[in-house]
A and B are shown apart, each in its own frame.
Chain A
Amino acid sequence: MVDTKTKTLGEILRHSGVSRRGFLKFCTATASMMALPPGMVPAIAAALDKARRPSVIWLSFQECTGCTESLTRSHSPSLENLIFDHISLDYHHTLQVASGDAAEAAREEAMHANAGSYLVVVDGSIPLGNPGYSTTAGFSNLQILEETAAGAAAVIAVGTCAAFGGLPKADPNPTGAVSVRDIVTDKPVINVSGCPPIPVVITGVLAHYLTFGTLPELDQYGRPKAFYGTSIHDRCYRRPFYDKGLFASTFDDEGARSGWCLYKLGCKGPMTYNACATAKWNEGTSWPVESGHGCLGCSQPDFWDAGGFYNALSIPVGELSRTVSYATAAGLGLGAVAAGINHRSKVEANRRHGEVTVDDLEKTS
């Protein structure tokens, strides 16, 4: 058994009988997964050859475990396995829940042994309203996050809840939920948003750290540009239909059957930045738009509050018809008042109206 704690990835793979060709193939797939150009493969090979395993602590707060499901059911298990065999997932709230105190001890040990160099992965938002809303082993989410993040090299916020507050933060935000970035301000925080995030995006970010020992370039929302640099709309294969003005108006009309643009059916693709159009879902089978349903915008902050999922993006969030009706009623009422005032002045003017004769004019002049 090779000691995975001290050996590099290249050594481990060669020890388990993987040829150089196999390794290069792995690097090619990794480059593809990290959305890096194929020209980077030699650099990735060189880096992975020397890569050492980082320790990872996974914390789950106010979440639904969808992100963990997404990751553990990701579609290229051997690739992910290699990554995960090679990172040391020392602690995972949900997966180790049965271990009780032993799991907490493992977390503390990992924190001490790898102080300053371990990665913290967080899924779920942190409630500030009352610490009792969400606890693990008797500690509030806030306490655990602050304590664990203190010695971390970086924090990866997986899922829209951890990245932006997500569903728990949706109006009226009963738990006072906040994102990881609202708490951790002195460490690099990488947001891997999505509800759930695309599995290869999660592993892609881990692979990037594993490969280069650095964090990827981030966008204005703290998300890796390689995956979130382009909007769904810009990479959508149905974009030509948007440009031609060909839209599906219902989910079963001719336009829907012909694969036309889903803008009218509420697709939030234009405002949403994610890699679904290329990374796809379910073993590369398809993705929401390809399966005939518009994008919900799940990788954007506050997407729950961004209006009806089936309303076109151009439609305001509020109840416009109600506003229009109330305003019309108010306008008509006030208009009637104005009309009343005008009417009175008119009556007054008419009352003063009298016939003028030449004699009258001569009198006054």
Chain B
Amino acid sequence: MNALNTTPVPIEKFTAVEHRFGNTLPLLHEISHALHRLQVEGTVTTLDLNAVPFGPGDERQLVDFLGRGEVSAKLEAMGDSHIRESRYSGVWIVEHWNTSGERVAFQIEITKLPALLEAQQEDIAESLLMLQAALENARNGASV
């Protein structure tokens, strides 16, 4: 294997040409309409970007265009998730990774607060039980 590593192999540098393939503009219009619906009717919209046929560079252009806003959150549940507001308030970029560090979902949410950031009813119930149990232990003399 070492011999392989020392054998000089010329590697042609090639990066896919980034063009404006025209996939970002319609998407931005869709986001704009969704934001209008959020403002007027309070309707929440989620766009699954895995279903959009991006060309090389399309995704970067979209993310650059949306920029960064005031809020940014990291979720650690079955792999990381990054949820951040874009520079357009109410437009959120949501990315989910799995435990092997591969992105399994990429979405734009147009909402006041992405639902995943809220504490979930089931988790609240479970944590209440845990808290009560911990307090019970404390009353029985265990150190808190």
Q: Is the pairing of A and B real? A: yes
Do B122 and A20 have beta carbons less than 8 Å apart?
yes
Contact of B56 among A21, A38, A290 (CB under 8 A): A290
Within 8 A of B (CB), among A1-43: 14, 18-22, 24-26, 28-29, 31-33, 35, 37-39, 41
- Which residues in A have their C-beta under 8 angstroms from that of B98? 29, 76-79
Q: Does A236 contact B (CB under 8 A)?
A: yes
Contact of A28 among B51, B55, B96, B100 (CB under 8 A): B96
Q: Scoring A residues 271 to 315 as 1 if CB is less than 8 Å from chain B, else 0, what string do you get?
A: 000000111000110100011000000000000000000000000
- Which residues in A have their C-beta under 8 angstroms from that of B115? 24
Q: Does A73 contact B (CB under 8 A)?
A: no
Distance between Cα atoms of A48 and B104 in the complex (Å): 18
Do B123 and A76 have beta carbons less than 8 Å apart?
no
- Which residues in B have their C-beta under 8 angstroms from that of A31? 48
Question: When A25-B116, A29-B105, A35-B51 are in contact, do A258 and B78 touch as well, CB less than 8 Å?
Answer: no
- Which residues in B have their C-beta under 8 angstroms from that of A39? 46
Within 8 A of A (CB), among B33-87: 46-48, 50-56, 58, 75, 77-79, 81
Do B21 and A237 have beta carbons less than 8 Å apart?
yes
The residue among B50, B81, B99 with the most chain A CB atoms within 10 A of its own CB is B50
Do A278 and B51 have beta carbons less than 8 Å apart?
yes
Q: Does A245 contact B (CB under 8 A)?
A: no
- Which residues in B have their C-beta under 8 angstroms from that of A29? 96, 98, 104-105
Within 8 A of A (CB), among B97-137: 98-100, 102-105, 107, 115-116, 120-123
Do A236 and B53 have beta carbons less than 8 Å apart?
yes
Do A76 and B77 have beta carbons less than 8 Å apart?
no
Contact of B53 among A25, A33, A235, A259 (CB under 8 A): A235
Question: When A32-B51, A76-B98 are in contact, do A22 and B23 touch as well, CB less than 8 Å?
Answer: no
Q: Does A240 contact B (CB under 8 A)?
A: yes
Distance between Cα atoms of A259 and B99 in the complex (Å): 34
Category for how many chain B residues contact A: 35 or more
Do B46 and A257 have beta carbons less than 8 Å apart?
no
Distance between Cα atoms of A29 and B81 in the complex (Å): 11
Do B123 and A20 have beta carbons less than 8 Å apart?
yes
Q: Does A264 contact B (CB under 8 A)?
A: no
The residue among A31, A32, A37 with the most chain B CB atoms within 10 A of its own CB is A32
Q: Scoring A residues 35 to 78 as 1 if CB is less than 8 Å from chain B, else 0, what string do you get?
A: 10111010000000000000000000000000000000001111
- Which residues in A have their C-beta under 8 angstroms from that of B55? 237-238, 259, 290
Q: Does B16 contact A (CB under 8 A)?
A: yes
Do B100 and A77 have beta carbons less than 8 Å apart?
yes
- Which residues in B have their C-beta under 8 angstroms from that of A75? 102
Distance between Cα atoms of A283 and B98 in the complex (Å): 12
- Which residues in A have their C-beta under 8 angstroms from that of B17? 257-259
Q: Does B22 contact A (CB under 8 A)?
A: yes
- Which residues in A have their C-beta under 8 angstroms from that of B75? 21, 25
Do B100 and A25 have beta carbons less than 8 Å apart?
no
Distance between Cα atoms of A70 and B131 in the complex (Å): 46
Contact of B77 among A14, A18, A236 (CB under 8 A): A18
- Which residues in B have their C-beta under 8 angstroms from that of A277? 53
Distance between Cα atoms of A33 and B121 in the complex (Å): 26
Mark B residues whose CB is within 8 Å of A.
16-17, 19, 21-23, 46-48, 50-56, 58, 75, 77-79, 81, 96, 98-100, 102-105, 107, 115-116, 120-123
Kindly list 11 other residue pairs between chains A and B, CB separation below 8 angstroms, not including A24-B115, A25-B116, A78-B78: A19-B77, A20-B122, A25-B77, A25-B79, A29-B98, A29-B105, A32-B105, A41-B46, A76-B104, A78-B79, A78-B100
Mind listing 7 A-B residue pairs with CB under 8 Å?
Answer: A29-B105, A77-B102, A259-B16, A259-B55, A278-B51, A283-B102, A284-B103
